[in-house]
Amino acid sequence: MGRKASSDMKMNAIRSGIVVLGALAFGYLSIRIGFKPYLEKAQDQTNALYQSHPSHESSSSSVFPENP
């Protein structure tokens, strides 16, 4: 009887974990789909900002200027 109860508890824990992961995935996808227009608009504005900013046209690959 102890072995059967232990096995049932393990299966319930696995099932609960799968349900939680499924709920997290569903929530993540719902947020992504719900906010998609806002995320795309923000991405477009960020891309436009970086393309129009003159400091990104330099060939320097470092973020910080080098001191002589």
Above 80 in pLDDT, residue 59?
A: no
Give the pLDDT score at 2. Answer: 59
Handedness of CA 58, 61, 63, 64 (dihedral sign): negative
Cα dihedral 54/57/58/61 (nearest 10): 120
Q: Residues 23-49: pLDDT tens digits?
A: 999 999 999 999 999 989 999 999 998
What one-character DSSP code corresponds to residue 56? G
Tell me the pTM: 0.53
Distance, CA of 20 to CA of 18 (rounded, Å): 5
